[in-house]
Structure formats: C-alpha cells, structure tokens
Amino acid sequence: MSETKLNFDDTATAFSDKSTAELQRKYQLFKLINSPFLTSIGTKLTNLAFDLNLPIKGLVKSTVFEQFCGGETIEECQPTILKLGESHIGTILDYSVEGKSSEAAFESTAAEIYRTITRAKQDENVPFAVFKVTGIAPFEVLEKISAGKALLKNERAAWDKAQERVAKLCEYAHSIDQPVFIDGEDSWIQNAIDAAATEMMEKYNREKPVIYNTIQLYRHDRLEFLKQSHARAKKDDYVLAVKLVRGAYMEKERARAEDLGYRSPIQPDKAATDRDFDAAILYCLENIETIAFVAGTHNEESVRKITAMIEEKKIEHNHPHVFFSQLYGMSDNLSYVLAKNNFNVSKYLPYGAVKDVLPYLTRRAQENTAVMGQVSRELDLIGKELKRRKAK
C-alpha cells in the first residue's frame, strides 16, 4: 500500500458542493462567530427574543441553524443527506433537542430516536444512529446512580423506565443490524451512562459492533478506562465499539470541580489531552480486530497522525472498524479530502425544531470561539476558495 499524501488545503475538494453564494454566507457567519463578544451578545439576544415570542425564527433558521443543522425534521434533512452522500460522506442524524425533563418528553424523544434508527437502516448514506441518555432519562437520577447514592421510590421508577428505553432502542438497533452511538456527557453522570452502554455492548456486540460508547479524552482517567473496557470485552467475548473524542464540556467541568471542591476530571492542559487522544487511537489500531472506533475530531494534526498510523500498519482505508467523523458545517477540508481518499467519513447532522435546538446551537457557538484557531482556519479556507473561484 503506497503512502497517501492528504492535502487538507485542497479547498476545491472541501467546498466542491457549495455554491459561491453559500460560501459567502458561510464566511460572513464565521466572521461573527470569530468574535467572542459578538457571539456572547448574539446568543443572549436570540434566547431573549425567543423567550419574548418575537418573530425571529426565520432569521435564525436561515443563518446559524442552516449552517450547523439539517432541518427541523428528518425529512428536511434529506437534501443534505443526499448532497453529502454524493461526496461519499455519511450522515449521522442527531436529534438535538435539549433540556426536556418530563416523562412525556422522554417518551417523545425515544420515539424520534426510533425513527432515526429506522431511517439509518433504510439508507446506506446514514451509517450510524445516535442518542444522548439525558434525552430519555432524568439528569438528577443519572447523577445519583453515578455517585452510588440510593434512589427514592419515585426515582427508582423513573430509572427503571429510563433503562427500559435504552434497552429497547439498543435491542431494536441490533434487530435490524443498525450501529448506534451512545453519546458522552458530563462526568458526574457518565458512570451511569458507561454502565448502560457496557451492558448493551456485552449483549449486542457478540459478532460485530452495533452499540458504541463514547470516550472523552480530555478526562485524565479515560485512556485507562478504554484499556479496562477492552480487557472486559475480550474476557466476555464481545467487540468493543467506541467513539473517541476530546470532549465538549471542559469549562463547565472545571467550574463545577472548583465550586464543589473536588479534583477536576479534566486534563491539566491541551498537550495532555492530545497525548491521550493519540494514545487511544494507537491502542485501537493495535487491536483493530477486537475494537471498532470512530475518531471524532476536527484537529488536523490528529487526522494526519491517524491516517499515517493506518498506512503504517497496512490497514485498509475503508476498514469497517475505522471511521472518522466531524460536525456538519465544520472542517469540510478534513471530511471531503478523507472521503476522496476512500476513508470512512461521516458528519453529525443535528436537527429539531429551531427553538428546541437553540441550546445546542448556543453551545456550538461558544465552543467554536473557545477553540483557538478553529474558526480562523475555517475563514482562511473559505477565503482561499473564494479567491480561487474569482481567479478562474
């Protein structure tokens, strides 16, 4: 296998399915996001406008929502699914409604997740489904379970219902042979999520990866958790399946640890996170027959290292146990160039009612301004492509 030279500055490939008008709109939006002050003010004003029932839905939907989301329904996502598929990029439909906490809301969310699993099975362009346990289970119950605290009678009943929802979703995914991710969340509820994911993997990953847990490597204990999870999977004879990410809740994690006086679960610095992320990838590649993994990263250097390791170990680019994933609207230079070189790639495509998805969009904007250089890199690439087209 000859070494592949990946050019992540290849903007013609990265933006091949974007019109010049789309690129210009994207450039203007990222210029706004690149300002922490404007992002902060903008998200506060948007939330206030929705609270006051002001008619701004159309504006939000045609700007930031259109950039990072596929639509308000699965059906509205169809054009994006097809467009990504034409470039050999898969779509992961992510129902991104957050902050609901009633039993009725949990049941409604579970029903929508069923629909995403079904939709994924019907389309080769949708390789995975995904859900967050907090979408179908009470946060405070997950917190008590994770801390090993006893539940009250009503909490026990709520937990039994939540476990049943998780079990039914995973059973359904297995019955139609459709892989599904269980997303990672806050550290103080993650123990309960890990336990549920492990139980489902043990039950349904006997022959192939179906249920994937998520490991956030910005936590200093997660590399060891990966190795322990693999040891358990080998002992109990099932395939370990994991999505590896750096993590998305760093500031909140550190603030809570300081407020409550416990050691922060977050790595001391970015270098430590990068080290453990790279080590986790290497560990998975060294055990590729018994571990399936998805590298969820927007880090260009990480992607270069991973592809180099894949080639060094003579692993096929499209090996079924190796996937890359990025968020829709971000890092198209990685996604499209990887896909062009026959690597397995997918995009997380959030969807849901505009008002209900607003917490997700707010977090996305805040994360983007917090990641040094990410938005600037996006602006540079878009600007380069606009100049290239103008010069043609």
Taking 70 as the threshold, does the pLDDT of residue 162 lie above it?
A: yes
How many angstroms separate the CA atoms of 338 and 303, rounded? 9
Predicted local confidence at residue 38, as pLDDT: 47
Instruction: Kindly report the pTM of this predicted structure.
Output: 0.93
Q: What is the pLDDT of residue 19?
A: 95
* φ, ψ at 292 (rounded to 5°): -110, 135
Q: Please tell me the distance from the alpha carbon of residue 46 to that of residue 199, in angstroms, as a whole number.
A: 41
pLDDT in the model for residue 33: 75
Residue 96 in any domain: the answer is yes
Kindly report which listed range (42-51, 61-70, 103-112, 245-254) carries the lowest average pLDDT score: 42-51
pLDDT score for 70: 96
Q: Which H or E run contains 322?
A: strand 322-327
Widest distance between CA atoms in the chain: 70
Structure tokens at 377: 């890199």
Give the tens place of pLDDT for each residue, 296-320: 999 999 999 999 999 999 999 999 9
Indicate the pLDDT class of residue 83, thresholds 50, 70 and 90: very high
Domain limits at 228? 68-356
Tell me, yes or no, whether 58 lies in a domain. Answer: no
| CA dihedral for 216, 249, 137, 152, sign (positive or negative) | positive
What would the pLDDT profile of 329-359 be if each residue is shown by its tens digit? 999 999 999 999 999 999 999 999 988 888 7
251-288 as b/e: b if 16+ CB within 10 A? eebeebbeeeeeebbbbeeeeebbebbbebbebbbebb
Query: In the structure, what pLDDT confidence band is assigned to residue 166 with cuts at 50, 70 and 90?
Result: very high
| Closest C-alpha to 96, from 353, 376, 363, 351 | 351
| 268 is a domain residue | yes
Please indicate, yes or no, if residue 112 is contained in any of the structural domains.
yes
Determine the pLDDT at residue 97: 82
For the chain, the domain total comes to 1
Percent of the chain with pLDDT strictly greater than 70: 91
CATH code of the domain in which 240 resides:
3.20.20.220
Asked if residue 107 belongs to a domain, the reply is yes
Is the per-residue pLDDT at 1 higher than 50?
no
More confident position, 59 or 186: 186
Note the pLDDT tens digit of each residue in 232-276: 999 999 999 999 999 877 888 999 999 999 999 999 999 999 999
Question: If you average pLDDT over residues 193-197, what whole number do you get?
Answer: 98
Domain annotation covers residue 118: yes
Q: Which residue has the higher pLDDT, 178 or 48?
A: 178
Q: How far, in Å, CA of 142 to CA of 122, rounded?
A: 33
85 within some domain: yes
pLDDT at 278 over 90: yes
In a domain, 339, yes or no: yes
What is the sign of the dihedral through the CA atoms of 71, 77, 83 and 86? positive
Q: Are 260 and 288 in contact (CB under 8 A)?
A: no
